[in-house]
Amino acid sequence: MERALALAERGRGRTSPNPMVGCVVVRDGAVVGEGYHECAGEAHAEVNALRGAGDVSGASVYVTLEPCCHEGKTPPCVDLLKERKPARVVAAMEDPNPQVSGQGIKALREAGVTVDIGLLGDEARRLNEVFIKYVTTGMPFVIAKCGMSLDGKIATHTGDSRWVTGEASRQLVHQIRDEVDAILVGSRTVMIDDPSLTARLDGSPSQDPIRVILDAGEYLDADRRVFHLDSRAPTWVAVPKGGACEAADSVLQVSTNGDGLSMQDLMKQLGSREVTSVLIEGGGATHASAFEAGVVDKVMFFIAPKIIGGRDAVSAVEGSGIEDMADAILLRDMTATPVGHDILIEAYVVKE
């Protein structure tokens, strides 16, 4: 199963809106086939693993997710398994997709295949955290990312933020951009930094995320770089209902609240456009309203060994903040990883 999980990982960033899945076929103690879901719309892991595995009667099939039993862009894997008839299927976790959710296991058992569920289940759920959130709620998995100084600033009081963190952190951010469906920033970040928001990887092909910009005041300048890129991904602009943005490839008309555009409504609309993951890259006002709306699932804060200071310098999370410590947003499973001279703090938002 460890090998199957490692194979699944190879599909990261290329399978959306599908999960990453890996599969290994073992007969008489030897691996006779392996594969993974390489790209959305293409063969599932089981198909790739069983191809060339020969006679699998008596074999065990290790797969990181319950085999599917519904017709999607490719035929159900359960039908293939029933036809090839291995002795046993070991799945790391049940498929949370309501169209599957135990039905694949049931169908295999009815066909006389032994099915075991749960081997390395926690690892499998971590691998597919994006898919699980999306398929069970219709909302994207949201990561709040920023590069900040040790005193929590993401720019100086003049708005300068190039660069807070080091080269290694910035490379890692390009890797994450390559893996997510969309990247979201506030209009002030676009106006001040004029970023490209593309994924640029050293030496390997990359895939740009869809760029989404919040523009409640409709003052985004059409000259900004995000509207003139050589990129296969579009730039979408979120505006209030009835609003417009001529420079955008597409406009999302979103309801408003006291903070500007409703993050809940925006995420719902992104989900309905099959955006399964969103990387929020600031600035501070945008992070604040995402946290306040409860849409953030994970944080990735890169901390640089620098002090910026200044009460008017932008903090990682702006807004008006909470009054009582008891109301703080709590995080769990926090890890700290050195990245060059910086430290990456990753953690998950505790949901009520």
Ligand X SMILES: NC(=O)c1ccc[n+]([C@@H]2O[C@H](COP(=O)([O-])OP(=O)(O)OC[C@H]3O[C@@H](n4cnc5c(N)ncnc54)[C@H](OP(=O)(O)O)[C@@H]3O)[C@@H](O)[C@H]2O)c1
Q: Is 294 helix (H, G, I), strand (E, B) or coil?
A: coil
Residue 155 contacts ligand X per CB under 6 A: yes
**Structure tokens that stand for 123 in this block:** 């690892």
Q: Please answer whether residues 341 and 305 qualify as being in contact, where contact means their C-beta atoms are separated by less than 8 angstroms.
A: yes
Choice from 193, 208, 265, 342 touching ligand X (CB under 6 A): 193
- Token pair listed for 117: 């569920």
- Count of C-beta atoms within a 10 Å radius of residue 44: 28
Of the candidates 192, 229, 331, 345, which one interacts with ligand X according to CB under 6 A? 192
Residue among 62, 97, 283, 339 that touches ligand X (CB under 6 A): 283
Structure tokens at 275: 């955006």
Contact call for residue 216 and ligand X (CB under 6 A): yes
Binding segment (CB under 6 A) for ligand X, from list 12-20, 152-160, 200-208, 227-235: 152-160
The contact mask relative to ligand X for 316-345 (x = CB under 6 A, - = no) is --x---------------------------
Query: Which amino acid makes up residue 72?
Result: G
Q: Which of 2, 9, 46, 323 is catalytic?
A: 46
d(CA 280, CA 289): 11
Interface region with ligand X, contact rule CB under 6 A, candidates 13-21, 52-60, 209-217, 224-232: 209-217
CA 70 – CA 298 distance, rounded (Å): 31
- Work out whether 243 is an interface residue with ligand X (CB under 6 A): no
* Nearest position to ligand X, beta carbon: 283
| Number of residues written out for the chain | 352
Whole-angstrom distance, CA of residue 213 vs CA of residue 255: 15
How many residues line the site for ligand X (CB under 6 A)?
32
Token duo for residue 174: 């390009």
Residue (37 or 188) nearer to ligand X, CB: 188
CA 307 vs. chain centroid, Å, equals: 31
Helix (H), strand (E) counts: the chain? 10, 16
User: Does the footprint of ligand X cover residue 253 (CB under 6 A)?
Assistant: no
CB of 204 to ligand X, least distance (A): 24
C-alpha span between 227 and 314 (Å, rounded)? 25
Q: Which is nearer to ligand X, 5 or 285 (CB)?
A: 285
Q: Are 199 and 209 in contact (CB under 8 A)?
A: yes
Among residues 130, 139, 165, the alpha carbon closest in space to that of 301 is found at 165
| Residue 86 sits in the site that holds ligand X (CB under 6 A) | no
46 is catalytic: yes
Q: Which stretch binds ligand X (CB under 6 A): 14-22, 64-72, 196-204, 256-264?
A: 256-264
- Distance (Å) of CA 309 to CA 130, 179, 208, 288, 341: 36, 33, 34, 20, 20
| Closer of 89 and 185 to ligand X (Cβ) | 185
Candidates 26-34, 103-111, 201-209, 258-266; binding stretch for ligand X (CB under 6 A)? 258-266
Q: How many other CB atoms are there within 10 angstroms of residue 309's CB atom?
A: 11
Out of 97, 161, 235, 276, which residue is the one contacting ligand X (CB under 6 A)? 161
Under the binding rule (CB under 6 A), the answer on residue 270 touching ligand X is: no
Q: Using CB under 6 A, which of 18, 189, 269, 276 touches ligand X?
A: 189
187 binds ligand X (CB under 6 A): yes
Site residues, ligand X (CB under 6 A): 146-147, 154-155, 159, 161, 164, 185-189, 192-193, 214-217, 219, 259-261, 263, 281-286, 289, 314, 318
